[in-house]
Structure 1
Amino acid sequence: MREFTIGKNDAGQRLDRFIAKNLPLLPPALLQKYIRLKRVKVNGKGSKRDVRLAAGDVLQLYINDEFFDKPSEENMFLTVFQPRLEIIYEDENLLLVDKRPGMVVHADETEKVNTLINHIQAYLYQKKEWNPKQEHAFAPALCNRIDRNTGGIVIAAKNAEALRTINEKIKSHELEKSYLCVTVGRPRPAEGRVEGFLLKDEAKKQVSFYRRPIPGGKSAITLYQTLETRGELSLVECRLLTGRTHQIRVSMAELGCPLLGDGKYGNGTVNKRYHETRQALYSYRLGFAFSTDATPLNYLRGRVFTVEKVPFREKYFPRL
């Protein structure tokens, strides 16, 4: 237990804001919980979070000692932000997380802190499943990536063996990933295969589609099936046989049916009409189709995980 006596310079502050300022390592949600549980007392009594402190008030904080430390590189995962994760599945080896559109998976030139991997590492640190002080090299890591404006299932490995195994299974195509998307137009035929070669312009961060091999181009194969059409929009399921940058976006545009909201390969006029600024694309289903040994993850063989609530499906193709 620690005590604080409020001086005249701190008088008038809200209780929760005073504590947050003085204990920067204490996650906001945990602070509110401690106040509700009366582990924070003012003059010996439990108090509401918005009470205004007066000079001479004595705070008694029944809070773990580590939250009184000063922020440092070693303890940054205690706080900075409260982890926000939509967990689909978790065990001792991995996490399956539903990444919502708008969040980057790793730090880039636009975002350094609010990244998916930081949220995952903070979550595991706070659960005491990972401590960077006790690890020489390994840190929880993502096994696959999704574009900032695309949503869906991301796999995070909790240990080096799980990371190695999942990476091997991705390379040998023993994971089945299915995507939902909304296209502008009706794909012809309604079900089929788009096969070609993709060449990425690194400067423009844009990909071009070619029907024939081209120097530097990578083969790309996408299977698709139209699930429903309403007006000019179609709900389409895609499955990747290869995993290339912007593969579905470029392939559907090649069919003449670009994704709704796609600013690079789509129809700007239609996007504005629907007020969509992000591509309607979601990695909504993941299957562990292991055909070879997957130790230590063999228990996942044959399991399939699905995101139930895909925002644009609910919006444009609500199920009865």
Structure 2
Amino acid sequence: MREIRIGKNEENQRIDKFLRKYMAKASLGFIYKMIRKKSIKVNGNKIDNDYILKYGDAIQLYLKEDTIESFIENREVRKIKRTFQIVYEDDYLLLVNKPYGLLVHGDSQEKKNTLINQVTGYLYAKGEYDPKSEKTFVPASVNRLDRNTSGIVIIGKNYETVQNLNQMIREKHHIRKFYLTVVKGQVKSCGELKGYLLKDERGNKVKIAEKEENGKDIHTMYRPLKTNKDYSLLEVEIITGRTHQIRLHLSAIGHPIVGDPKYGDKSINQVMKKKFGLENQFLHAYRISFEKCMGNLKYLEGKTFEAPLPQRLKEIEQSLFSER
């Protein structure tokens, strides 16, 4: 029998979710079966799958030790060169400026050099995170950027912070997220875009529907900062944060982002590649504003943080909008 004591980084989550992280190689069906058969208890008592763990709870696993060990993934901190910049940091969270070309989380092609792995390595070196002393917690991002979108990513350093950040993001306008982008054509006035996002399995894309039709609502605001007859520099605020939302919404109104290989204009993309070497979307998450904060993050209320355009995008902006 193994006993697990619940600490601050494990409390306030369902036991089935905790156990799926603790025994990552075990199926959810197996975990449910063990709970049902009373092979997993809390404080010596039978519990349901949705039991919410409390600080100080003791989980008893009435399983063979080698069985438990076979289900646990070896978590180690990888030594990777740090390529992100720090925008802001305190005891609870980290705001980083992610460069383009870096995945936030791993995929089938890249599992090692990711933003999260770089962050855990950074925090490990500072003595703020050690996987050997944590039962399940890993520093986590609460907003995601595409591989080739640069800008601010919010990282929670402990479970309470991650919970509060996730709740603040779910509550619209608690955390406001702004982007800078250059699009095709002249945009003369501010705009508001709404619709529903549907997955399009062909080419790993998404598309917009005017009616819900099993899609997720998307809401985007934009305002022009600079414009000429060919291009416009926009500030974009996302009210919802869906996959490819900005890229798709702007393309749908005839103003695709320059350099965007999925939703962009091929002829303009060729010009951008030839003239500037740009092979990805001109999109940068440049500002985060904490409007209303919860729990241990109340001190952030009213604060705004910015990450300037990367030099390569700044040079493109200056060239496109210089006086002719």
Give 2:263's match in structure 1, choosing from 265, 284, 287.
265
Give 2:290's match in structure 1, choosing from 288, 306, 310.
288
Does structure 1 residue 175 correspond to structure 2 residue 180?
no
Distance 2:79 2:289 in 1: 34
Per residue, is there more helix in 1 or in 2?
2
Cα deviations across residues 123-148 of structure 1 (Å, max 9, x unaligned)?
00011111111111111111111000
Distance 1:255 1:102 in 2: 27
Q: By how many angstroms is 1:313 displaced?
A: 4.6
Cα deviations across residues 20-47 of structure 1 (Å, max 9, x unaligned)?
xxxxxxxxxxxxxxxxxxxxxxxxxxxx
Q: How much identity, in percent, do the aligned residues show?
A: 39
Matches within 5 A, 1:31-180: 76-77=76-77, 80-173=79-172, 174-180=174-180
Question: CA distance change for structure 1 residues 157 and 106 in 2, over 3 Å: closer, same or farther?
Answer: same
Distance 1:316 1:195 in 2: 29
Does structure 1 residue 252 correspond to structure 2 residue 250?
yes
1:252 maps to a residue whose letter is L
Q: By how many angstroms is 1:105 displaced?
A: 0.4
TM-score normalized by the length of structure 2: 0.71
Which residue pairs with 1:186 in the alignment?
Answer: 186
The structure with the largest alpha-carbon Rg is 1
Distance 1:203 1:141 in 2: 30
Distance 2:238 2:81 in 1: 34
Q: By how many angstroms is 1:309 displaced?
A: 3.1
Give 2:279's match in structure 1, choosing from 265, 277, 283.
277
Moved over 4 A (4+): none
Cα deviations across residues 72-116 of structure 1 (Å, max 9, x unaligned)?
x56x42x53233320000000010000011100001012111100
Q: By how many angstroms is 1:202 displaced?
A: 3.6
2:192 maps to a residue whose letter is R
Q: By how many angstroms is 1:268 displaced?
A: 1.0
Which residue pairs with 1:305 in the alignment?
Answer: 305
Cα deviations across residues 274-299 of structure 1 (Å, max 9, x unaligned)?
10211011111000111xx6110111
Any conservation in 2 of the 1:284–1:310 contact (CA below 8 Å)? no
Matches within 5 A, 1:201-280: 201-210=200-209, 212-275=210-273, 276-280=278-282
Q: By how many angstroms is 1:240 displaced?
A: 1.0
Any conservation in 1 of the 2:186–2:228 contact (CA below 8 Å)? no
The count of aligned residue pairs is: 243
Q: By how many angstroms is 1:191 displaced?
A: 1.0
2:238 maps to a residue whose letter is L
2:97 maps to a residue whose letter is D
Any conservation in 2 of the 1:280–1:312 contact (CA below 8 Å)? no
TM-score normalized by the length of structure 1: 0.72
3-state SS in 2 of match to 1:207:
strand
Q: Where in structure 1 are there 5+ consecutive unaligned residues?
A: 1-72
2:183 maps to a residue whose letter is T
Q: By how many angstroms is 1:254 displaced?
A: 1.2
Question: CA distance change for structure 1 residues 313 and 80 in 2, over 3 Å: closer, same or farther?
Answer: closer
Distance 2:291 2:165 in 1: 11
Any conservation in 2 of the 1:195–1:219 contact (CA below 8 Å)? yes
Distance 2:129 2:207 in 1: 42
RMSD over aligned CA atoms reads 1.9
1:224 maps to a residue whose letter is Y
2:161 maps to a residue whose letter is A
Distance 1:104 1:127 in 2: 23
2:151 maps to a residue whose letter is G
Stretch of structure 1 that moved more, 245-254 or 307-316: 307-316
Q: Where in structure 2 are there 5+ consecutive unaligned residues?
A: 1-73
